[in-house]
């Protein structure tokens, strides 16, 4: 950039084309690209880096999820309860409808757009491999869901400590709540991502994810009630294995000291209880495998 | 830059590449072939994204089958189809793509600004890409292929969907990628004419086989032949035939071309004067007289006929 003297002594600014400059700096390679994709996708899940319109729903839903945490802290403190009305471990289950909506929003946002606008070949023509893409998207959605659930838990925990609800009890509850949140996030991310990746149409993706998360849950819950009334609690605990929601409920009741929403607050035990984490892990592995298969064909 | 050895790719139903052996050096290389000739398959293999059934391919001295990641770090790729999300701006998109190529965040932003300026995108780069014209979108696609300063870019049908003016601008830009930026280019097209002006070297493939690989100068070298076009007159209802006969009388070998064209073997400059005098004597109008150049299209036709 320099200035010269124009006619009549007017100084006119000139832009000089400095030509093409080569890049001599570092190239950070595949793992850096994978991390960048995680960050980019995680931000996308909350509408960050996009127009205000895209931030309304994620943050609106996040607000709705956080409000009960604030309310229950307030209630516990003002009415002098010695524990919070909702356990940390069952918070995700309590907020399930809202979380379901958020997952249905975030999962298609994460994968359908790349499919729909055929951006995938641009990723695969770079150092990242197909599995890196899948792993990054999976990690990003899991993280997004974990944050969605764990931040309200953190609010409740902070409130609980301020209200002097008993440090040891609160801390152990909070820690178990975080584990439940992590299980919830990983399990639901795997399922929702797979469903969303099957269609480039975002609307279909949203509907399909909601259906996949709710239909089995309501079906299992209904059959559980019937089984319970027929007097077969054994069937209730085995039935719980057949939907992501009840799976999580069973895990938190059997292993994390929570109370289930199964009929009669039944807690899975014995062989059935052992199956809960196994089925959950199996589902995650299966969904991840199918996702990588899906992306073997998609794109370039 | 690119070297393939008996490269073959068979899909269950079709053979996309059939024993292709080419050696492509630095500069702008045009890869010409009809749709389905195997251009896109070749690009996929070069990027290490599809295994070859037989044979080997090397890009920048690296084996495409084993070192795909290392190749993709140094190569840019511009796909044929639309690939831009409409609700993000060109700047954001290209920055993201630069980081996906391994550039640190600050370098990614700097290179994005530079590259978008070089492809001719200014104020509009902050607007969502959904509102861009086809020409602007093609520029962004080119920018994302160049943003990490590759040594080689693979451009798949970059002029597709552009109007004549946009096509010329894109071809000029491609020329600059090599001339000004020093980046070698492999550009595909099913149109010979546009690559003729842009490339240093042309590779013609058809049905997965190599038809021809040659420097552009060899394709279009000046021949000793002179093309002459004349009018008809009342005394000579067929001017071209009359000229042909008269030239024969003056000892110049000539053949009839299409329409009113006569091709004359002009061994030396004296032939030019002879042609002029003969036409003047006949009283015909001279429309044009020019040195004939080989058109690539003719070479392409010859090559195809040779194969068939």
In this prediction the ipTM stands at 0.85
B102 — pLDDT class (breaks 50, 70, 90): very high
Q: Is B26 inside a domain boundary?
A: yes
Distance CA A208, CA A72 (A): 33
Of A20, A113, A118, the CB nearest to B180: A20
Q: Which residue has the higher pLDDT, A13 or B281?
A: B281
Q: Is B278 inside a domain boundary?
A: yes
Contacts 24+ apart (CB under 8 A), B8-13: B8/B52, B8/B53, B8/B54, B8/B55, B8/B208, B9/B38, B9/B41, B9/B45, B9/B50, B9/B52, B9/B53, B9/B208, B10/B53
Q: What is the pLDDT of residue A209?
A: 94
Same structural domain, B112 and B214: yes
Q: What is the pTM of this model?
A: 0.82
Q: What is the pLDDT of residue A5?
A: 42
Same structural domain, B190 and B235: no
Number of domains forming the structure of chain B: 2
Same structural domain, B131 and B162: yes
B56 — pLDDT class (breaks 50, 70, 90): very high
B84 touches chain A (CB under 8 A): yes
B3 vs chain A: nearest CA distance in angstroms? Answer: 19
Of all residues in chain B, the one with the smallest CA distance to A19 is B180
| Window from A73-82, A203-212, B130-139, B289-298 with minimum mean pLDDT | B289-298
B75 vs chain A: nearest CA distance in angstroms? Answer: 8
Which tens digit of pLDDT belongs to each residue from B220-240? 665 667 888 888 888 888 888
Same structural domain, B212 and B250: no
- Are A121 and B182 in contact (CB < 8 Å)? no
**Owner of token pair 């200035």:** A3
| Window from A22-26, B23-27, B284-288 with minimum mean pLDDT | B284-288
Q: Is B128 inside a domain boundary?
A: yes
A50 vs chain B: nearest CA distance in angstroms? Answer: 7
Of B73, B83, B144, the CB nearest to A27: B73
A152 vs chain B: nearest CA distance in angstroms? Answer: 31
Residues of chain A positioned with their CB less than 8 A from the CB of B75: 125
Same structural domain, B88 and B167: yes
Q: Is B303 inside a domain boundary?
A: no
Q: What is the pLDDT of residue A2?
A: 44
Same structural domain, B148 and B35: yes
Length of chain A counted residue by residue: 300
Q: What is the pLDDT of residue A290?
A: 94
Q: Which residue has the higher pLDDT, B47 or A80?
A: B47
Q: What is the pLDDT of residue A258?
A: 82
Q: Which of B159, B190, B219 is the last residue of a domain?
A: B219
Residues of B (156-215) whose Cβ lies below 8 Å from A: 180-182
Residues of chain B positioned with their CB less than 8 A from the CB of A35: none
Mean pLDDT (chain A) is 88
Same structural domain, B87 and B188: yes
Q: Which residue has the higher pLDDT, B92 or B222?
A: B92
Residues of chain B positioned with their CB less than 8 A from the CB of A125: 47, 49, 72, 75-77, 79
Same structural domain, B273 and B262: yes
Domain that holds residue B167: 2-219
Q: Which of B219, B235, B250 is the last residue of a domain?
A: B219
Q: Is B305 inside a domain boundary?
A: no
| Window from A264-273, B29-38, B167-176, B212-221 with minimum mean pLDDT | B212-221
Q: What is the pLDDT of residue B299?
A: 57
Same structural domain, B78 and B165: yes
Indicate whether B139 pLDDT > 50: yes
Q: What is the mean pLDDT of residues B203-225?
A: 78
Q: What is the pLDDT of residue B303?
A: 55
B183 vs chain A: nearest CA distance in angstroms? Answer: 10
Indicate whether A67 pLDDT > 70: yes
Same structural domain, B140 and B179: yes
Distance CA A161, CA A172 (A): 12
Residues of chain B positioned with their CB less than 8 A from the CB of A114: 85
| Window from A15-19, A138-142, A204-208 with minimum mean pLDDT | A15-19
A12 — pLDDT class (breaks 50, 70, 90): low
- Are B104 and A40 in contact (CB < 8 Å)? no
Cβ neighbours of B253 (radius 10 Å): 12
- Are A127 and B102 in contact (CB < 8 Å)? yes
Q: Is B270 inside a domain boundary?
A: yes
Domain ranges of chain A: 31-297
Same structural domain, B84 and B231: no
- The helix (H) or strand (E) run that includes residue A11 is strand A11-14
Of all residues in chain A, the one with the smallest CA distance to B180 is A20
Q: What is the pLDDT of residue B22?
A: 93
Which one, of A216, A140, A147, lies nearest residue A181 by Cα? A147
- Are A30 and B69 in contact (CB < 8 Å)? yes
Distance CA B175, CA B180 (A): 8
Q: What is the mean pLDDT of residues B212-218?
A: 80
Q: Which residue has the higher pLDDT, B46 or A16?
A: B46
Sign of CA dihedral B291, B292, B294, B297: positive
**Owner of token pair 């546009």:** B194
Q: What is the mean pLDDT of residues A13-18?
A: 64
Same structural domain, B76 and B154: yes
B289 touches chain A (CB under 8 A): no
Residues of chain B positioned with their CB less than 8 A from the CB of A129: 69
A205 — pLDDT class (breaks 50, 70, 90): very high
Which tens digit of pLDDT belongs to each residue from B234-259? 888 888 888 888 888 888 888 887 77
Q: What is the pLDDT of residue A6?
A: 42
Q: Which of B219, B235, B252 is the last residue of a domain?
A: B219
Q: What is the mean pLDDT of residues B44-58?
A: 92
Q: What is the pLDDT of residue B304?
A: 58
Q: What is the pLDDT of residue A202?
A: 87
B296 — pLDDT class (breaks 50, 70, 90): low
Q: What is the pLDDT of residue B298?
A: 59
Q: What is the pLDDT of residue B138?
A: 96
- Are A126 and B101 in contact (CB < 8 Å)? yes
């Amino acid at each position: 950039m320099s200035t010269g003297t124009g006619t009549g002594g007017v100084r006119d600014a000139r832009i000089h084309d400095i030509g093409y400059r080569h890049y001599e700096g570092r190239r950070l390679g595949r793992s850096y690209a994978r991390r960048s994709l995680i960050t980019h996708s995680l931000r996308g899940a909350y509408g960050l880096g996009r127009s205000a319109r895209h931030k309304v729903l994620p943050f609106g839903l996040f607000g709705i999820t956080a409000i009960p945490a604030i309310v229950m802290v307030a209630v516990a403190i003002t009415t002098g309860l010695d524990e919070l009305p909702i356990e940390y471990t069952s918070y995700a289950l309590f907020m399930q409808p809202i979380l379901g909506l958020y997952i249905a929003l975030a999962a298609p946002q994460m994968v359908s757009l790349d499919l729909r606008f055929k951006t995938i070949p641009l990723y695969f023509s770079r150092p990242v491999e197909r599995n890196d893409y899948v792993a990054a998207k999976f990690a990003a959605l899991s993280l997004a869901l974990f944050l969605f659930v764990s931040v309200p838990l953190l609010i409740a925990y902070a409130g609980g400590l301020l209200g002097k609800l008993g440090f040891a009890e609160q801390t152990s509850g909070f820690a178990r709540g975080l584990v439940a949140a992590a299980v919830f996030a990983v399990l639901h991310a795997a399922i929702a991502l797979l469903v969303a990746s099957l269609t480039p149409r975002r609307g279909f993706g949203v509907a399909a994810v909601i259906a996949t998360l709710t239909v089995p849950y309501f079906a299992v819950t209904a059959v559980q009630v019937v089984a319970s009334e027929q007097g077969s609690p054994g069937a209730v605990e085995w039935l719980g294995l057949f939907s992501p929601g009840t799976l999580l409920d069973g895990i938190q009741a059997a292993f994390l000291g929570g109370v289930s929403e199964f009929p009669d607050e039944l807690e899975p035990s014995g062989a059935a209880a052992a199956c809960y984490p196994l089925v959950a892990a199996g589902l995650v592995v299966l969904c991840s495998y199918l996702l990588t298969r899906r992306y073997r064909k998609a794109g370039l | 830059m690119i070297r393939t050895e008996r490269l073959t790719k068979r899909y269950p139903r079709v053979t996309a590449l059939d024993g292709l052996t080419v050696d492509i050096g630095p500069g702008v290389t045009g890869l010409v072939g009809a749709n389905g000739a195997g251009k896109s398959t070749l690009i996929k293999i070069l990027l290490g994204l599809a295994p070859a059934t037989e044979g080997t391919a090397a890009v920048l001295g690296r084996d495409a089958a084993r070192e795909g990641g290392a190749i993709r770090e140094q190569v840019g790729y511009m796909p044929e189809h639309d690939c831009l999300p409409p609700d993000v701006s060109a700047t954001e998109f290209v920055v993201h793509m630069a980081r996906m190529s391994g550039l640190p965040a600050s370098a990614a932003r700097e290179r994005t600004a530079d590259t978008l300026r070089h492809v001719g995108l200014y104020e509009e780069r902050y607007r969502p890409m959904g509102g861009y014209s086809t020409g602007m979108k093609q520029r962004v696609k080119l920018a994302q292929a160049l943003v990490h300063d590759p040594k080689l870019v693979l451009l798949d049908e970059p002029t597709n969907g552009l109007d004549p003016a946009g096509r010329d601008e894109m071809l000029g830009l491609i020329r600059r990628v090599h001339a000004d930026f020093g980046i070698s280019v492999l550009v595909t097209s099913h149109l010979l004419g546009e690559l003729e002006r842009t490339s240093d070297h042309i590779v013609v493939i058809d049905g997965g086989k190599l038809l021809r690989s040659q420097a552009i100068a060899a394709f279009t070298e000046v021949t000793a032949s002179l093309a002459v076009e004349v009018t008809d007159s009342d005394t000579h209802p067929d001017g071209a035939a009359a000229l042909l006969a008269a030239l024969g009388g003056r000892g110049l070998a000539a053949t009839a071309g299409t329409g009113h064209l006569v091709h004359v073997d002009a061994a030396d400059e004296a032939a030019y004067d002879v042609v002029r005098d003969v036409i003047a004597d006949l009283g015909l109008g001279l429309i044009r007289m020019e040195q004939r150049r080989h058109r690539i299209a003719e070479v392409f036709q010859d090559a195809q006929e040779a194969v068939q």
